Structure 1
Amino acid sequence: MSVLAVFARLVEHFADLLTPLFHASAAAAAIVLFTALVRLLVHPLSRAAARGQRARAALQPKIAELRTKHAKDPQRLQKAVLELHAEEKVSPLSGCLPSLLQLPAFFLLYHLFSSSTVGGEVNGLLGHELFAAPLGGRWADALADGGPFGPAGLVYAGLFALVAAVAAFNYRRTKRMMANNPVAVAGAGGDGGPVPGLGALNKVMPFMSFFTLVTVAVVPLAAALYVVTSTTWSAVERAALYQ
């Protein structure tokens, strides 16, 4: 049995459990539940990433001293900075792992609800809906079937409104964090200087949550539910961990 078929069975099992509560939208609720379980699994890594960011910020004064001490010897500076990170058990890029580990779950949902057959059989999950919107459909399908204010279009309108609210919250929080503690988001590479490209990334960072709107618009609704749930979780989680 393929990985996709096993995953389909898992979603169907969750949907069966939730049918008494959510009826025709049980599969959509199952996707939200699955997303929450994934986020719970990676939460320890998110906590570790938050600790790592605080630790990197605390190291900046020592790294500044090393830059002064080894200003004329870049190789010695790089070695000293690496030794400092190893001694303090701090990774310059530790915050990337939680996001990377979530990608397989997203791609599984994307492929599952983009496939007409799974394991040689008709994909029955494509017949499930969130209210009037098929989980295998996209925003373009909703626009073609009733327009933006049709039954399916209103489902997407609700998702877009939620994503916009979360993105606005993230924008304000990120701008405030970068203004109050620029060192914490600056990062440092192995030579004690900024990680290449991180400066440009920091400029874009406050706007990144708004890109979720594009993702929600173009992927199957099931994958969009994963994205919306995960994005909302991230906003609450980061607000709690990065106070």
Structure 2
Amino acid sequence: MSLFARLVEQLAELLQPLFHTSSAAAAIVLFTMLVRLLVHPLSRAAARGQRARAALQPRIAELRRKHAKNPERLQQAVMELHAKEKVSPLSGCLPSLLQLPAFFLLYHLFASSTIGGERNELLTHELFAAPLGGRWHDALADGGVFGPAGVVYLGLFAVVLAVATFNFRRTRRTMADSGALSSSGGAGGEGSVPGLAAVGKVMPFMSFATLITLAVVPLAAALYVVTSTTWSAVERAVLYPAGSGALEQPATA
């Protein structure tokens, strides 16, 4: 953890001539982008895996119809199909799970007031008039919604709202194209899974949960969340173009 802190602090020193008192905030944004760039190959691997699994859905649907009365034979046939096509059922999930440790370390770094028993100096810096260690309720108490610090949060909320709306529309369109929103099941026959219709209705709105995170975490952590969420939205728009047939998850940090 202290290694991450030192790297961000050194980066802030390099950026200080350009960003002055907001150099630490700029360092958090840049450092988050660098980490996301390093794990981008994992995201590409996840996208390839999801596209491969999506391409098999029509054939899996046919197997479901063929073995509707024999669940054990259906399971065996699906496994044989995956093995024949050399597609892992987890190929779209595992790379994403491998990203979690790096993201957890970054978030914890920017949300912790102490590191190794010492004060987290990153949180003593500011973004314009808003302390990186402060929270939204602190900004509201010190000047209100349109106060110096409150305006900084309004800007971040606007960015997150725009990204969440973009994700919402993409997720709705992708799920509709894949048939996941149909109660009768789409090409993949997913409508037969109990509770999937309810999940399909809720999933597009998950992108807006970032607004709640932004409101309760320190500003340093909020900068990480905004940067990572925006990166995810752009990345998934590139990796999952419209009509690719791969069912996306909401883009989050």
TM category (shorter chain) comes to 0.7 to 0.9
- Per the alignment, residue 128 of structure 2 pairs with 131
* Alignment root-mean-square deviation, CA: 2.7
For residue 36 of structure 1, the aligned residue among 33, 37, 59 is 33
1:79 aligns with 2:52: no
Cα gap change, 1:194 to 1:225, in 2 (>3 Å):
farther
Change over 3 Å in CA distance of 1:25–1:204 after alignment to 2: same
Instruction: From 43, 58, 61, give the equivalent of 1:64.
Output: 61
Q: Distance in 1 between matches of 2:195 and 2:34?
A: 33
Q: Does 1:15 align with 2:12?
A: yes
CA contact (8 A) 1:110 1:219 kept: no
Letter in 2 for 1:211: A
User: Does the alignment pair 1:111 with 2:108?
Assistant: yes
- Whether 2:146 is the aligned partner of 1:149: answer yes
1:110 Cα deviation after fit = 4.1
Q: 2:161 aligns with which of 159, 164, 169?
A: 164
The letter of the residue matching 1:233 is W
Distance change (3 Å), C-alpha of 1:221 and 1:11? same
Task: Tell me: CA distance 1:213–1:98, structure 2 relative to 1, closer, same or farther (3 Å).
Answer: farther
Tell me which amino acid in the other structure corresponds to 2:53: R
For 2:214 and 2:78, locate their aligned partners in 1 and report how far apart those are by CA, in whole Å.
41
More displaced stretch, 114-123 vs 11-20:
114-123
**Matching residue of 1:47:** 44
Asked whether 1:231 is paired with 2:229, we answer yes
Residues 163 and 212 of structure 1 are in contact (CA less than 8 Å); yes or no, is this contact kept in structure 2? Answer: yes
- Of 187, 204, 207 in structure 1, the residue corresponding to residue 205 of structure 2 is 207
Where does the alignment leave 5 or more consecutive residues of structure 2 unmatched? 242-253
Opposite residue 10 of structure 1, the aligned amino acid is L
Distance 1:195 1:39 in 2: 34
1:26 and 2:28 correspond: no
The answer on whether the counterparts of 1:92 and 1:188 sit within 8 Å (CA) in structure 2 is no
Structure 1 residue ranges without an equivalent (≥5): none
**Counterpart residue type for residue 130 of structure 1:** L
TM-score, normalization: structure 2? 0.83
Report percent identity of matched pairs.
Answer: 79
Q: Is the 8 A contact 1:56 1:184 kept in 2?
A: no
Cα deviation, residue 242, structure 1: 1.4
Alpha-carbon separation, structure 2, partners of 1:172 and 1:63: 27
Quote the Cα distance in structure 1 between the aligned partners of 2:31 and 2:192: 37
Report the Cα offset of residue 228 of structure 1.
0.6
Change over 3 Å in CA distance of 1:28–1:66 after alignment to 2:
same
Instruction: Confirm or deny: 8 A CA contact 2:123 2:220 kept in the other structure.
Output: no
Per the TM alignment, residue 104 of structure 1 is displaced from its structure 2 partner at its CA by 3.3
8 Å CA contact retained: 1:139, 1:153? yes
TM-score in terms of structure 1 length = 0.86
The structure 1 segments of at least 4 consecutive aligned residues displaced by more than 6 Å after TM superposition are 183-189, 192-196
Residues matched between the structures, number: 238
Counterpart residue type for residue 45 of structure 2: A
User: Comparing 6-15 with 46-55, which one deviates more in the overlay?
Assistant: 46-55
CA distance in 2: counterparts of 1:92 and 1:117, whole angstroms: 41
**Range with bigger deviation, 201-210 or 8-17:** 201-210
1:75-129 CA deviation, whole Å, 9 max, x = no partner? 1211111121233232334433454344434443443344443334333222111
Does the aligned pair in 2 maintain the 1:28–1:130 contact within 8 Å? Answer: yes
| Farther off after superposition, 50-59 or 211-220 | 50-59
Deviations 1:57-77, CA, capped at 9 Å, x for gaps: 211121122223323321121
